[in-house]
A and B are shown apart, each in its own frame.
Chain A
Amino acid sequence: MTTNVNDLHCETPKNMYVKLISSDGHEFFIKRDLALTSQTIRAMLSGPGQYAENETNAIRFRSISSEVLARICSYFAYKARYSNSTIEIPEFPIAPEHALEILMAANFLDC
C-alpha cells in the first residue's frame, strides 16, 4: 500500500475529538465517540444548535473537578473496551475519597 505524502500531513477531522474542561481549568481531549457514552454530553453536542458547545466541541463543567473528570474519561475508555466483550470484564477501580463526587458527576452525566 503506497503512502501518500499528503496523508501524513492531513489533519484529523474537525469533529473527532472533543474537549472537556474541568472546574479548575484542566482540559481533557477525548475522542468524540467515547464522550458520547454520556447521554448528557451527547445531548449537549448534538442539540439543535442551542448549546455553544456544538460549534466549538468543548464543554466546560463548572462542578466537576479534574480528578473526577479524569476518572470519568477513563470510564469512557473502559466502557468502550468492554462493551460486547466475550472476555471477563474486570472491575473499574475508583478511589474511595472521590467516590461521592464521582457518583454525583456520573449522575449528572448519566453514564
Chain B
Amino acid sequence: MFNQIIDQPELLPTNQLLQKHLNSSVYLTNNVWKVAFSPCSKYLAIPKQDIYGENCVLVVKCSNWNAKDIHTADLSVCQRFTCTSGIWSLAFGQRKTEESHSHQSTLLDPNNLLLPKTRRELLNRRRSSLSVVNRRHDFTKDLFLAAGLADGKINIWNIDTGELTLILKDHQSTVCGLDFTSCTMQLATCSHDTTIKLWDLLDDGNMYKTLNEWTHVINAVKWSPDETLLCAVGPYELVILYDTVTWEELHKFEGHLHSVVDCAFSSDSALLATASYDTQVILWSTITGEILKTFAHKIPMPLKIYAGGDNGAFVRSVVITKYNHNIITACDDNKIRWFSLALNDKSRMIYERTETNVLCVAMTVDGHTMAVSNRNGEVHLLSTLSTAGTCHPPPLKYFCRLLINTSLGTKRKEAFSLSLSQHLIKYLAYQDIKTK
C-alpha cells in the first residue's frame, strides 16, 4: 500500500516571496526558535531582531500559501510588532463559537446532561451571566497573537487592528512556552521560573491557576484539541498530562531518557507525541497511558549514556499532520523527517529532507502547508499535500474512531465500557498501530 508517494514535499513558490521579506538587510540572523500559524491558516508569525537591536514579530499574511503562481499570490508582511525583550514563544488564538458540543452526552449516557464534561462546557456554564459589556477588552471576535518574552511578560496583540491589547505580567522569568485553546481563549504559559500559569482571556486575562510543583523549567505546554487535557514537558524526562477540569495529574509518562522539549496531540486527543533530546519521538496513548510507537532519529539507537547526554541528534520539534497520517520532526542532525503513523510494523521513516540548523516545524491547521525555521534566521515554506497517506481517503473506521475519541472528552477511560467488541475497543485506543 505504500508505493503511493506522488510528490516529495517541495519548497513552495511563495517561499521566494517570503525570503525577500525576511532577508532584507534590516534584520539580523537570529535563532528563530518558534514560528506559528494562525487557526485560519492565513497568518504566519516570525520573531526577528533588527539591526538596531530591537526585537520584533513579523506577521506575514497570505491567502493561499500553496499558490502556484507567485505573481498572483498575495504574500505580504501585514504587521510588525516590537517587543521589549527577546521572544521565546508565540501562539495565535481566536474565539470560536461552538458547533454543537452537546452531542457529547448522547454518545455515552443521555441522562448525564447535568455534569460538565469538558472545560469548555464548564466555562460556558460559569460565564452564561457574564457579558462582554463589562469587560475591559473584547477577546471574543478578532484574531490575537501572544508572545512570551525573555523578561517574563506576555504581549497580546490584536492582528486586525494592530494594537497591543494586553500585557500579562506575572512570570518572574522567561516565558518559554505558551499555547491557546482552540475555542475558548484560555492561555497556558510555562516559564523558566518553574511554574505553569493559566489565564482566561475572556475574563480580562485573569490568571486563575498556577501549577508549581517543580524546581526546574517547563519547556512546553500544549492543550489537547478538545481542551480536556494539558500536556507539560520538561527536563528530567518529564511528561505530564493534566485533566483541565479538575487539574489532577492524569498520567505521568515514563520512557524518555533526556529532557523533553516538544509535544503534539492528534486531532482527536487520543495520541500524544513527545520529542526529546534523547533522539527519540515517542507516541503515547492518552487513553491507556502506554507507549504505542517510538521513532528513532539515530540508528542504531545510542546507548543510554549517550541518549542521556550529548548525542548530536536532539529532536527539537514535532507535529502531527491532519487526520493523523504522519509525524514530522526536526532534529539537530540537520534533517526533517516524516514518519508514518498508519503502519504497525517498525516505525518507518517515509521521507527526510536536509535543512541545516533546523529548529522548529509548524503546520497550518488545514494541513496544506508547513513552515520550518532555523538558526540562520530563515523560514522556509513547504507543501505537505502530496505526501504518502493523503492521496486516498481514510477508511470509514478511521473517521468513526476520530469522532468517537473526540466525543468522549474527559470520559476517555469509559471507552472500555462501550458496548463494542474487544477488537473494536482496541482499535479505538489505537492498539492497531502499536509496535508489536
Give the chain B neighbours of A97 by CB distance below 8 A: 103, 106-107
Interface residues of B in 375-426 (CB under 8 A from A): 385-386, 390-393, 395-397, 399-401, 403-404, 407, 418-421, 423-424
Size category, A interface = 20 to 34
- State whether A92 touches B418 (Cβ < 8 A): no
A96: contacting residue among B103, B366, B424, CB under 8 A: B103
Binding site for A on B (CB under 8 A): 6, 103-104, 106-107, 366, 368, 385-386, 390-393, 395-397, 399-401, 403-404, 407, 418-421, 423-424, 427
Interface of A is mostly: helix
Q: How far is the CA of A104 from the CA of B420 in the complex (A)?
A: 8
Give the chain B neighbours of A106 by CB distance below 8 A: 395-397, 400
Query: In the complex, what's the smallest C-beta–C-beta distance from A51 to chain B, in angstroms?
Result: 23
- State whether A103 touches B393 (Cβ < 8 A): no
Closest A residue to B403 by CB, please name it: A99
Q: Which of A89, A97, A102 has the most CB of B within 10 A?
A: A89
27 A-B residue pairs with CB within 8 Å = A72-B396, A83-B392, A84-B391, A88-B366, A88-B385, A94-B399, A94-B403, A96-B107, A96-B403, A97-B106, A99-B107, A99-B400, A99-B404, A99-B407, A100-B400, A100-B404, A102-B396, A103-B397, A103-B404, A104-B420, A104-B424, A106-B396, A106-B400, A107-B423, A107-B424, A107-B427, A111-B396
Contact of A84 with B106 at beta-carbon distance under 8 Å, contacts A96-B403, A103-B401 already known = no
Stretch at the interface among A3-11, A15-23, A74-82: A74-82
Give the chain B neighbours of A2 by CB distance below 8 A: none
Q: Is A85 an interface residue (CB 8 A)?
A: yes
Contact of A89 with B393 at beta-carbon distance under 8 Å, contacts A94-B399, A96-B107, A96-B403 already known = yes
Given A103-B400, A111-B397, 11 extra CB contacts under 8 A = A75-B396, A79-B393, A83-B393, A88-B368, A89-B390, A96-B103, A96-B104, A96-B107, A100-B418, A106-B395, A106-B400
Q: How far is the CA of A103 from the CA of B104 in the complex (A)?
A: 17
Against B, the Cβ 8 Å flags (1 = close, 0 = not) of A41-58 are 000000000000000000
Give the chain B neighbours of A94 by CB distance below 8 A: 399-400, 403
Q: Is A86 an interface residue (CB 8 A)?
A: yes
Give the chain B neighbours of A84 by CB distance below 8 A: 391-392
- State whether B397 touches A100 (Cβ < 8 A): no
- State whether B399 touches A96 (Cβ < 8 A): no
